[in-house]
Amino acid sequence: MLSFLKKDAQKSTVSGDNNQVTQHIDNRSGVIYTEIKQIVSDLFEQNMLKMSNEATKLINVRRDTFSDLLIANMQTANPDGFQAFADPGFQYSLYTALQQYAKTGNDQLQGVLIDMLVKRTMVGNRELNQIAIDEAIAVSGKISSKQLYLLALIYLTTQQQRGFHTLEELGEYFSSAISGQDFYKTEDRTQAKEEMAHLAYAGCIGSYGLAGDYRSGLRRHYDYALGVNPEMLQMGLKDLFQSRFIPESEIYEIVSKAENRTYICKEDLQSAINNIYPAGKLFENHILPAILDDKVNEQVERLLKTSPFHTLHEIYELYRFGGYHLTPVGKAITRSYIKLNFPSPYQSQS
């Protein structure tokens, strides 16, 4: 039973089938550290296979490293979540994570596992996110470092990357994500197919069947994440005005509400329009079609010839990213990996 002591006597509780655990948490006294460390130690010793003295010593060092980092992350991200350590489901996932890290000592894997454990303390019991995290923790140690990276690239190239206001911003972010990665230059299509088959076997990805190319992915970034460039926006609003969908005065009001930026992104513009036409689909049905014309396709073709988009196109085509989607398990792993390795200043990874 947990018995954390808190100086201000604030309580939190965890209910089980036949008992209730009452906790008093004090982040300053070191009681959390002592008791959680003991829980981790007992859990590990009672379940871990007996090994040689040398292996046991190494495993114990990794256990202590893992538990120290987990406690530090919990205290920063979710100090109220320590009550989860009394939950059997969480203890099972905690032991699984410890086991995965103890086998390899891989720092990258450790970071991903700890981030997922912290997130697990923030979701409700038996929700899809919790179940997916449990599965992801079990799977993480079964996929290679390169496959972790491939999952991240699938996410970044097939999902909408919101918040980037210019193509230059997006390009800089992608450049940092692919910096130093050249494995794709020596890998053939057969090897790439095997990598993806293993990710599917592990439950991280599912297949769409036919694979689109990176043009569709880049167009998605351009259309929905980057918004529109000022010239195309002006042209679209002019066409809209000439078609008499909205009065000129309201066009000016919409633009003025777009936070007076030097550029206008999709989110700003849509928010401004919704202030005037909250019940309509004016943005999706009229403004986007007026703006997103063949010029976007021309931009996409131009971008595919430049770095880093040319490199992303090569990787995308080699591994057929367009033919796959991330499962909830794959997303749980990927979001933690991206958060730790190349977080976007805009993309939420929660």
Backbone angles phi, psi at 3, to 5 degrees: -145, 50
- DSSP labels for 226-252? S---HHHHHHHHHHHHHTTSS-HHHHH
C-alpha to C-alpha distance for 240 and 238, rounded to whole angstroms: 5
Query: Which of 338 and 22 is assigned the larger pLDDT?
Result: 338
Q: Is residue 311 packed enough to be buried (19+ CB in 10 Å), middle (13-18) or exposed (0-12)? A: middle
For residue 5, name the pLDDT band (cuts at 50, 70, 90): very low
Q: Kindly report, residue by residue over 147-160, the tens digit of the pLDDT.
A: 999 999 999 988 87
335 pLDDT higher than 90: yes
C-alpha to C-alpha distance for 88 and 18, rounded to whole angstroms: 13
Q: Kindly report, residue by residue over 7-32, the tens digit of the pLDDT.
A: 333 333 333 443 333 343 344 345 56
136 pLDDT higher than 50: yes
Alpha helices in the chain (DSSP H): 31-47, 53-77, 88-104, 107-120, 128-140, 145-158, 167-178, 189-201, 214-220, 230-242, 248-256, 266-276, 282, 288-291, 294-303, 309-319, 328-341
For residue 103, name the pLDDT band (cuts at 50, 70, 90): confident
Residues 55-79: what's their mean pLDDT? Answer: 90
Q: Determine the Cα angle at 283 with ends 278 and 286, to 5°.
A: 125
Q: Kindly report, residue by residue over 34-46, the tens digit of the pLDDT.
A: 788 888 877 877 7
C-alpha to C-alpha distance for 2 and 81, rounded to whole angstroms: 13
Residues 193-208: what's their mean pLDDT? Answer: 95
pLDDT score at 111: 96
Q: Kindly report, residue by residue over 204-240, the tens digit of the pLDDT.
A: 999 886 667 888 888 877 765 555 666 666 666 777 7
Query: Which of 223 and 88 is assigned the larger pLDDT?
Result: 88
